[in-house]
Amino acid sequence: MAVFKLYHWEPNANSGKPIQTLMEKGVEFESCWIDVFAHDHHKPEYLAINPLGVVPAAVHGELKLYESTAIMEYVDAAFEGPKLRPDEPAARWRMRWWMKFVDEYYAPSVSMGAWGRNRGATAQLQRSPEEIEALKKQIAAIPQKERQVSWTKTLFGTFTDEEMAESERKTVFGARLMERALERFEWLAGDSFSLADINAFNLCYFMPMRPDGLVSDATTPRTMEWLRRINERPATKRSWDLGRNFKVDRLTHLERKAS
């Protein structure tokens, strides 16, 4: 069978999702590092794989794959190993519902909040005119107009107060909704670990690090237990071993305290 090549950044967020899926399945793959801060994903050689210019992407034989959640489902279907999609229809629906909710609602809100909390420092960076011009050229090379806008706001710290307030509202809603779901089931889709848990973990692992305590043992004990159980899985550790700047010690806040 053809080698599976995964083009990715650090093993968290969107890149972490297919990495962890491959690790859970026990699939050997070729890791191809993409430096997003160097805008490797906007260069012609990468755009030939993923014309949308986002990470991750994959090549399997003649097939070029992109969109992290779709790659996860492809990996689970294409390779042997533990099944990560439930057979039972309602559980399969819950798996897909949670992946859609995280991708389209929860993750964008959390991401905006994380970048936006640093917008003051970002806006005050002393950049030379040459540096500013270089950033603008990098942004102009992004294929999607929407992502040009988001990168501009991110790099120049121009999120509005209204955008930040809406981001926070959605983040709070998402955190509370997840806690209620985990009151009912051990995992997001039901009684078995699934792609939904991998998807959400790669967003939520750092939520307990927020200074407001939105996700904590006091406010969301079931979410914290869910995070710890995923952190303890061998595949999670192997995934984070691929990090260059984000190493496994980034997850030390999820380790259980000795009694």
pLDDT of residue 116: 67
Q: Provide the pLDDT for residue 157.
A: 72
pLDDT the model gives residue 117: 63
Is 205 inside a domain boundary? Answer: yes
Containing structural domain, residue 147: 89-232
User: 94 lies in a domain?
Assistant: yes
Q: Does residue 256 form part of some domain?
A: no
- Give the end-to-end CA distance of the chain in Å, rounded to a whole number: 48
Residue 70 lies in a domain: no
* pLDDT at residue number 141: 74
Give the separation between CA 224 and CA 95, rounded to whole angstroms. 19
Which residue numbers in the chain have pLDDT < 50?
120-121, 124
Q: What is the pLDDT of residue 80?
A: 96
CATH of the domain at 123: 1.20.1050.10
214 found inside a domain: yes
Task: Look up tokens 């039972």; give the residue.
Answer: 88
pLDDT recorded at residue 19: 98
pLDDT of residue 222: 98
In a domain, 75, yes or no: no
In the chain, the amino acid numbered 159 is F
Q: Which residues contact 111 (CB under 8 A, 6 or more apart)?
A: 13
The structural domain count of the chain equals 1
The whole-number pLDDT of residue 255 equals 93
